[in-house]
Structure 1
């Protein structure tokens, strides 16, 4: 397990207000990292992929839709903050895309999965401070069973690990830019952060939001369907009709898209819960196909109906 030090106020670089964080001593770990590729897209073996273009969402905020997930760049006169860091193998393309932008000060990992933290080492080497929830860092720092893929993800080497962690939420001020880091417990995992830029009306939901797709609920590392619904409700409470909302997977959307995902998940939860209360086994619930009418819209991605039903069943009391 990651060593846990006393909580303290961390002095930020010039132009940055203090943020209450837990400083964690990096572990010296020798195991190599096998990236948790949650996307079927792969970079060419002999050259980095061409860097996607940045899409401006608001003044100073831009999205980069990489092969695995969507990252968000926030820039001010004092530097830049990046939300998530893609896969390790796509780090060269991400660095290429960042060339010529404001100097990168911070990287915020929304959770521990490899398609969101794989570029940490390269970005830290370029001078960024990596931040995550303490539960996410703990998952990165030890061998962790990824139930959705039925395999153990080896611990990350120390140079990938966040050097600043939050026990709850926090705020970053970079010049005139404010980022609110919001911990949503027991949602996609037990270490999820939503990243909200209130002045720009932009919200990154990480993998608490799959736009147009069934989501992954990582029940092996503390994810639950009720916690995920609560995270979606928290996102809705922060959004209005003009909010740009980034999903960990799927296109950039708005409040109506987020509400549709929340409503769908409530339907799945209620149907599976009714069958479980009636004494049906996991196999019997799967055979009953409780999502059959939802599958044409939500089940055409790489999270299949059996997977969402199974994870909801497993996370219900």
Structure 2
């Protein structure tokens, strides 16, 4: 009986000691940093969005999730004493646009590509349905500030747009461009070679600061570098497929050494190859 009681006490002590560590792991990292002028970047763990402050309200982008949106809305009001008037979805994927109802219920107008609205409704995304949609381009003007919304075509989705801030010389581009980091895993919901063309459209914009939806801030040169990686991946996988190699052989032989110093190279290189091979197989008809 004494031994059993001692075991219970030891287990209780272990659980109590583990609780703070578990709590720390569950803590969300949130912050707001100034990019340039009245443009700010919002971090919610590994996701980022941006917002522009004007004298007549705020133009925000991806809400990320409901808790993040509520936190951002409160912070913006406390720091700038301005309501969020517009929220712009970069594309339809849940991990970036969930929680849009937080802004909409407070009076914000939701803007997205017309294809995004169809997918949001069809897939029942947990977010607010866009109020305004567009096809190629749209300009938002508020409080003397301008944001240019530009469709880049099928890439990481079929409804991807970027937000260009001309005065701040910045572009917010989500998921289809990263700064010195490989694309996410198996490139799901991707379109090739449209993805590379989408990046070329971004390169055609006059800007200096690249603001991705994940990872570090970069420059226009980083966009070109990311396109270079995708072009190399596409070319090598296509050549291997035409040579009759299996996916396993591709993973062993396609090393993409020029990018070995990039983030997630060790984890995602083989998955990038798998995803590209699957994508090419959908559109290639061999002999």
Note the residue ranges of structure 2 that are not aligned, 5 or more in a row. Answer: 1-21
Equivalenced residues, count: 257
Other-structure match for 2:69: 91
Instruction: Quote how far apart the aligned CAs of 1:192 are.
Output: 0.1
Indicate if the aligned counterparts of 2:184 and 2:272 stay in contact, CA closer than 8 A: yes
Other-structure match for 2:58: 80
Indicate if the aligned counterparts of 1:68 and 1:86 stay in contact, CA closer than 8 A: no
Q: TM-score under structure 1 normalisation?
A: 0.73
Q: TM-score under structure 2 normalisation?
A: 0.80
**Matches of 1:218 and 1:287 in 2, distance apart?**
16
Does residue 1:258 correspond to 2:223, yes or no? yes
CA spacing shift, 1:89–1:300, aligned 2, 3 Å: farther
**Matches of 1:140 and 1:68 in 2, distance apart?**
22
| Structure exhibiting the larger radius of gyration computed from Cα positions | 2
Pairs within 5 Å for 1:155-304: 155-156=124-125, 160-216=128-184, 221=189, 223-240=190-207, 243-291=208-256, 294-300=259-265, 304=268
Note the residue ranges of structure 1 that are not aligned, 5 or more in a row. Answer: 1-42, 144-154
Instruction: Quote how far apart the aligned CAs of 1:230 are.
Output: 1.3
CA spacing shift, 1:235–1:216, aligned 2, 3 Å: same
Which of 118, 137, 145 is residue 98 of structure 2 equivalent to?
118
Larger RCO (alpha carbons 8 Å, 6+ apart): 1
Give the helix-richer structure, 1 or 2.
Answer: 2
CA spacing shift, 1:283–1:306, aligned 2, 3 Å: same
**Two-structure CA RMSD over aligned residues (Å):** 2.6
Instruction: Quote how far apart the aligned CAs of 1:217 are.
Output: 8.3
Q: Does the residue aligned with 1:105 lie in a helix, a strand or coil?
A: strand
Other-structure match for 2:274: 310
**Matches of 2:278 and 2:143 in 1, distance apart?**
45
**Matches of 1:237 and 1:291 in 2, distance apart?**
26
Does residue 1:133 correspond to 2:101, yes or no? no
CA spacing shift, 1:201–1:132, aligned 2, 3 Å: same
